[in-house]
Amino acid sequence: MSRAFRAVASSAVLLLAAGAHAADDANPLDCRPDGNQQQMTACAVRDFRAADAALNIHYGEVMKTLSPQMRVALRTEQRTWLKGRDPSCKRASKANEGGSIWPLVFNSCLEKSTRQRTAELDRWKGREQ
């Protein structure tokens, strides 16, 4: 074996070993409800994203059940709700603004509001007028 090949092979082994070791360490930004502030915030962000995805799916399903006229009405209502959601959660989390807990409080509010809206969409199902 040539020296160059051995050097490259040794470097590859060291890189693989370092990567395996790094994989064992928990990423500080991984979700851990009982972890540090960043990990708890990561959970809140994950939960909000899941709620938002569920809302979008449910919205599409409800839209399919509506007459064209009611689709326009729901779309208008949904846009109005969406424009108000973030400012409402900013107001609700204002006391924590600037603190490390603010992102957790804000994203938790977004999740709660989004889940409530998802449930509210059921009253639109099958509407004709």
pLDDT band with cut points at 50, 70 and 90 for residue 129: low
Residue with tokens 């509210």: 120
What local confidence, expressed as pLDDT, does residue 127 receive? 78
Cα separation, 49 vs 55, in Å, equals 10
- The mean per-residue pLDDT over the stretch 3-26 comes to 46
More confident residue, 89 or 128: 89
Percent of the chain with pLDDT over 90: 74
CA 66, CA 57: separation in Å to the nearest integer?
A: 15
> What's the number of CA atoms in the CB half-sphere (13 Å) around residue 117?
26
- Which CATH number applies to 28-124? 1.20.1270.180
Question: What would the mean pLDDT of 69-78 be, rounded to a whole number?
Answer: 96
Q: Is the pLDDT of residue 93 over 90?
A: yes
**Kind plus residue range of the DSSP H or E element containing 2:** none
Least confident of 3-7, 35-39, 96-100, 124-128: 3-7
Whole-number average pLDDT of the chain: 85
